[in-house]
Structure 1
Amino acid sequence: MVQALDAAAVRRWADACVRSLDSQREAIDRINVYPVPDGDTGTNLLHTMRSALDALMRAPAEASSSVGPAVAAMARGALAGARGNSGVIVSQVLRGLAEVLQGTSTASGAGLRRALRRADELATAAVAEPAVGTVLTVLHAAADAAADSASDELDDVVTSAAGAAATALAETTRQLAALARAGVVDAGGRGLVVLLDALAAVVTGREEPRAERIADAVLPRTQESLTTGREGGSAEYDYEVMYLLDGVEESVEGLRGALGALGDCVSVVGDGAELWTVHVHCNDIGAAIEAGIRTGRPHRITVARFADQIAAQAARFVSERVVVALVRGAGAAELFRGEGAVALDLCAAGDVTEADLLAVISGTRASQVIVLPGDTELVDLAEEARRQAMEAGQDVLVVPTSSPVQSLAALAVHDPGRRADDDAVAMAEAAAATRRGELTVSGREALTWVGRCQPGDLLGLLDGEVVLIEAGPADADDVSDAACRLVDRMLGGGGELVTALLGGDAPDGLAETLEQHLRASHPGVELTAYVGGQPDALLLFGVE
């Protein structure tokens, strides 16, 4: 049991929030009927908390030793990545916690009690017209229960808050007509209960999935619920506009007033420092953005049309999860397609940009995509495409494979039945456990760990470092000999399976030569060879 909340516990909590929201995202999306039935609250909350966790992992060292800086990093990340009303509210919850815990290395039950009250105040202030039966009602109940807790022990305060939130969540069905018609609880409120339950689990060591139990009792969404009238905000406004704002030199009250004249559901909230997030429902998109320009520097602008959201959610995705692999060579592309992946042949595609990869990702029409770059130089490109796809509503993860053989190892353990995060972790572990080798021809003079190479020399690389140089030009026998020496070097550290991808310029009979060599020198090792057709390497090895 955690006696005082410290930075390590905050990291576990952030990770638990992302995992729990990932597992419950679809369930929360299905019950999202208020204020509009757009079916994205779970997705928005997951995106927001992933941004919070990412910011925490990238925060300065101070955030790894003190609870205040750790929660502050989460608050900044959540604000920068906030999606929808629910994301904005969660960012303010985290900001409230951070404000109270600022300058503290650990947080007691009494400190958390005050932090929850401040979170309640800021979240309520972020909503122009707070309504009973929403996430704000659930948060207020949690803050009240924490304040009324008879004990200052951290576990007592946390469990009191989480328990009261779950009880308040169950009551939301009868507090809003839209929820009553659909027979569901408030989606944002359920998301908040997930976050509080995750905190209680970290502090107490006990799992108490209250939100899941409540969800089992609600009715599925009906067609009537999908067309429920918008009770928060006017139906005359067709668009949701959101953006981040910095460089603000004057009060944001003028911006709030300008947005209020354009539409409703206005929120302009900050991180307590220099960054603000702006949200409004309106018809004049340009005017909403121009109001931001007059106040500061808008960026990361997103626009959604309410009338499109339900149809888009229903029609956009036709599969749950797909793996996208970046490869070079027709043979390698065909190999990965045969294993069930979507393969992008970089040789056929030419100079691939983030936009090209984004088109492939969105073209899969899968709600979840795992990308295997297959080259260290392509990881950044994959990450940028991932970021853009996430902003467009698609869940994308990048497994940083450094070679096609590592991508094959990752694909071999891919299991669409697992949760996406767990599947990506298993694939990353399989890739990392695969030693990679490469036999190629040097294109220039260079100084390596084993001496100087000249253009045309035959190079053997192990995990990216040159370990073998054969003076060029090399004939078929030289290539075969170097390949056998390289695989022996790789098997010196152990291994049971060797995977070989033959390049477009590999000599005839190379696979047979390797098989004979391994049968004689390593009889317990299995070789699997494929024609990859890659133009940049004669041979690629993977040893597992």
Structure 2
Amino acid sequence: MTQESTRVDDRSTTLDADGVLMWARLCVEGLAEHREEINALNVFPVPDSDTGTNLLYTMRAALDRAEGEDAWITEGGGQAGAREIAVALGRGAVHGARGNSGVILSQVLRAVGEAATFTVVDAATYRRALRTAVTLVDNALSDPVEGTIITVLREAAAGAGRSTATDLVEVARAAADSAAEALGRTTGQLSALRNAGVVDAGGRGLLILLDALVEVLTGEAPERPDYGVASVPADAACGAHGLVNEQGTGAEDEDDTAALADTRYEVMYSLTHSDDARADELRSVLRTLGDSVVVVGDGGAGDHARWAVHVHTDDIGPAIESALSLGKVVEIRVTDMLDPLGQGRTHGTTEGTSGQDDAGPAGGAGARAVAGPGAGAEDVAPRASGTPTRSIVSIVRPGPLAELFTDAGADVVDPGTDGSGVIDGVFAVDADEYIVLPNGELSRAQIGALDAALRDVGRHALILPTASVVQGLAALAVHDATTTLSLDGFGMADAAAATRHGYLVRAEQDALTLVGRCAAGDLLGVIGHDVALIDGDPVGLVCAITDRMLTAGGELVTVLLGEEFDESATEEVLTRLRAENPDVEVVSYAAGSGRVLAQVGVE
């Protein structure tokens, strides 16, 4: 559906898949445009000025997942329906949620997917989606507070419900206008907002999404006041005796706000291989450890389901450890809310993290390819104290694979023919902290030598056990520059360990393998460190390796294909893998020349 056909001039009463994607893109544009405004409004529950950034990051993750779903279906010769795109938006948002507001936003998007029919979103769908979102958010939160995004969402649902129109345009307008009125009232509902003279930041972000739908349908965005200042005078909003909010709590009572603001750390992570019952159990445990507890799912089933977990706490370890027996914990992020910019940190400390999270999961200090040796260890002086800089150093040979790491924000060091230049190459990267990805290019002795050299000059470094390029890419995908070195390394190592890897090589000589005798020139399919298959068909062998690794489950397959795979062979590999594994995302990259003809990673 084109934009023209979604406008009110055509009296459209629905949005198809293209319309839903158009809405999502407009949401990203609106949140990007208003990010600093929303950040400036962010005074509750913690004045860390990151709500706009968190909402934008979450919405971008949702859009990336939806566009990928649309492209995958189109490549297969199909046509996506509105429900498929909406479900992908919700799952992408849950997987990429940042902050309390981002987690709540993920449930709004999830609700659209659960409410949509296969082909369209209509007026009835939108009403049902907003009602469902209210239910999901209420069930997910440990301590819902009125005067926040929750209030704005509830009033949007109520406004849509009061509208008797059958036209999606009119229902969308009713929801957005009701939300705008509720947003204006938030200034008087919370003392923190009243004292600052602002509306709720999360509610402002939600209104941008609601207004974006109106704009998609009509071609014009609703006019709203400048929310950079309070939309109503504080005295008028509060009255002489203080406003009573919808929960019946006096808005003059500052105890709850103070309690929330005094909690030091924001802990977030994802939980997989779990279920709703265990998610409920985790939510109950986290309530005993902190506040602002949110545990929300993406609506998936089985091992493909995922829950986003959020809590404000002073006990980081127990908040993470309490989930270990309830599923698999991945993508851990910790923010020091009392020092979100890390200004209290000095070189060598591990306490505190940065709250600046608008860099993506692979965001880093920037991409700087290091091709040759630099200063030796003896020439490197310890760095001055201050806010540490961190670099992800990937040991990988020049070519397309090196470009993949560089584009993702890593510093690339060429191992050369024998690895002798690695230490000099790493020291040529200017940073206080290093996370090194060997990617199977270094021996244990070389890793030990690098570790000793880093310690000799007082550098803080982690060398992760990435035994292949695909494990290195998986680790880099969850790199979080906003957290501490140890937590960043933990999350990256966890992602690498969760990635099963295999590769395709030609036998260099006659040999006896675990699966029989091979002759020089035979194609060997290796899984982990063992030969698992011998065949003469490179396309068939890559698919067979992948199938073997998927028997233990998986959500994402990454295929790196060398020069022996031309365009036709690459297309055949992808077509077969996607047809045989419709529930698995398959991505492919060129690997260039080398002894290894293809590599496969399963996450």
TMscore range, shorter length = 0.5 to 0.7
Matched-pair contact (CA < 8 Å) for 1:35–1:230 = no
Paired residue for 1:100, among 105, 108, 115?
115
Are 1:35 and 1:233, in contact at CA under 8 Å, matched by a contact in 2? no
Conservation of the 8 A alpha-carbon contact between 2:354 and 2:482: no
- Equivalent residues of 2:296, 2:307 under 8 A apart: yes
Offset at residue 65 of structure 1 (A): 2.4
CA deviation profile, 1:309-367 (whole Å, cap 9, x unmatched): 16659x9899x99xxxxxxxxxxxxxxxxxxxx984633567xxxxxxxxxxxx999xx
Structure 2 counterpart of 1:215, one-letter code: G
Do the aligned residues in 1 keep the contact of 2:48 with 2:355 (CA within 8 Å)? no
Match of 1:214 in 2: 227
Letter of the 1:244 counterpart: S
Deviation at 1:3, TM superposition (A): 3.0
Match of 2:191 among 177, 189, 192: 177
Residue in structure 2 matching 1:302, options 330, 333, 342: 333
Structure 2: gaps of 5 or more residues: 1-6, 233-253, 345-352, 360-365, 375-386, 390-397, 411-475, 484-562, 564-603
2:99 aligned with 1:87, yes or no? no
Render the CA deviation track for 1:255-274: whole Å, top value 9, x for unaligned: 12221222222121111221
Partners of 1:248 and 1:297 within 8 A in 2? yes
Contact 1:36–1:230 (CA under 8 A) maintained in structure 2: no
Where do 1:244-283 residues align within 5 Å? Answer: 244-248=270-274, 251-273=278-300, 274-283=305-314
The 1:209/1:152 distance shift into structure 2, 3 A limit, reads same
Take 1:231 and 1:241, find their aligned partners in 2: how far apart are those partners? 19
* Map of 2:577 onto structure 1: none
What amino acid is aligned across from residue 253 of structure 1 in structure 2?
D
Q: Which residue of 2 aligns with 1:442?
A: none
> Is 2:318 the partner of 1:287?
yes
Q: Which residue of structure 1 aligns with residue 526 of structure 2? A: none
- Determine if contact 1:64/1:70 at 8 Å carries over to the other structure: no
Tell me which residue corresponds to 2:42: 32
The equivalent position to 1:61 in structure 2, one of 68, 73, 80, is 73
Quickly say closer, same or farther: Cα 1:345–1:108, change in 2 above 3 A.
closer
Distance in 2 separating the partners of 1:42 and 1:125: 24
Q: Percent identity?
A: 41
Residue 7 (structure 1) aligned with residue 17 (structure 2): yes
Distance 1:364 1:19 in 2: 32
Please say if residues 92 and 126 of structure 1, whose CA atoms lie closer than 8 Å, have aligned partners that are also in contact: no
Aligned in 2, Cα 1:188/1:379: closer, same or farther, shift over 3 Å? Answer: farther
| One-letter amino acid matched to 1:245 | L
Q: 1:167 to 1:390 in 2, by over 3 A?
A: farther
Residues 6 and 67, structure 1, Cα contact 8 Å, conserved in 2 = yes
Shift of 1:383: 4.4
**Contact kept? 1:34, 1:230, Cα under 8 Å:** no
The reply on whether 1:166 has 2:166 as its aligned counterpart is no
Structure-2 change in CA distance of 1:317 and 1:32 (3 Å): closer
Structure with the higher helix share, 1 or 2 = 1
Amino acid in the other structure paired with 1:173 = T
TM superposition shift of 1:130: 1.2
Change (3 A) 1:31 1:236: closer
Q: What is the CA-CA distance between 1:384 and the residue it aligns to?
A: 3.3
AA aligned to 1:7 is A
- Write the distance in 1 (CA, Å) between the matches of 2:178 and 2:97: 26
Letter in 2 for 1:61: I
The SS at the match of 1:179 is helix
- Counterpart in the other structure of 2:370: 346
User: In 2, Cα distance between the equivalents of 1:83 and 1:30?
Assistant: 17
Paired residue secondary structure (1:303): strand
Structure 1, unaligned stretches of length 5 or more? 220-227, 322-341, 351-362, 366-373, 395-464, 466-544
State the Cα deviation string for residues 156-200 of structure 1 (Å, max 9, x = none): 000111111111111111111100100110000000001111111
Which among 45, 50, 55 is matched to residue 45 of structure 1? 55
Q: CA deviation at 1:251?
A: 2.6
Contact 1:138–1:165 (CA<8 Å) still a contact in 2?
Answer: yes
Query: In structure 2, how many angstroms separate the alpha carbons of the residues matched to 1:236 and 1:26?
Result: 24
Number of aligned pairs?
350
* Equivalent in the alignment of 1:137: 151
CA distance in 1, matches of 2:188, 2:79: 43
Q: For residues 90-125 of structure 1, what are the alpha-carbon distances to aligned partners after superposition, in whole Å with 9 as ceiling and x for unaligned?
A: 011111111111x42012112211111111211222
Give the whole-Å Cα distance in 1 for the aligned partners of 2:407 and 2:296.
28
Per-residue deviation, residues 24-51 of structure 1 (Å, max 9, x unmatched): 1111101100011011000000000000
Contact 1:197 1:209 in 2 (8 A): no
* Contact preservation (8 Å) 1:3, 1:203: no
What secondary structure, in the 3-state scheme, does the structure 1 residue paired with 2:339 have?
helix
Q: Report the RMSD for the aligned CA atoms in angstroms.
A: 3.7
Q: Paired residue for 1:70?
A: 85
TM-fit CA distance, 1:382? 3.5
How many Å separate the matches in 2 of 1:97 and 1:32?
A: 26
CA distance in 1, matches of 2:369, 2:205: 40
SS in structure 2 opposite 1:295? coil
Conserved? CA contact 1:241–1:302, under 8 Å: yes
CA distance in structure 2 between the aligned counterparts of 1:21 and 1:15, rounded to whole angstroms: 10
Cα shift at 1:217: 5.6
Whether the 8 Å CA contact 1:10–1:71 is kept in 2: the answer is yes
In 2, distance between residues paired with 1:126 and 1:40?
Answer: 21
Choose from 180, 185, 188 the match for 2:202.
188
3-state SS in 2 of match to 1:39: coil
Partner of 1:487: none
CA distance in 1, matches of 2:279, 2:46: 27
Written as runs of structure 1 = structure 2, the 5 A alignment for 1:215-234 is 215=228, 231=257, 233-234=259-260
In 1: Cα distance, 2:22 partner to 2:408 partner: 26
Do the aligned partners of 1:56 and 1:70 also contact (CA within 8 Å) in 2?
A: yes
Deviation at 1:213, TM superposition (A): 3.1
| Residue among 380, 387, 392 paired with 2:404 | 380
Please tell me the residue identity of whatever aligns with 2:226.
R
| C-alpha distance in 1 between matches for 2:479 and 2:53 | 10
Return the index of the structure with the highest Cα Rg: 1
1: CA distance, partners of 2:265 / 2:172: 38
CA contact (8 A) 1:34 1:232 kept: no
Q: Which amino acid aligns with 2:62?
A: A
Counterpart residue type for residue 198 of structure 2: V
Q: Does 1:121 find its partner at 2:135?
A: yes
Question: Within 1, Cα distance between the matches of 2:167 and 2:150?
Answer: 25
| TM-score normalised according to structure 1 size | 0.58
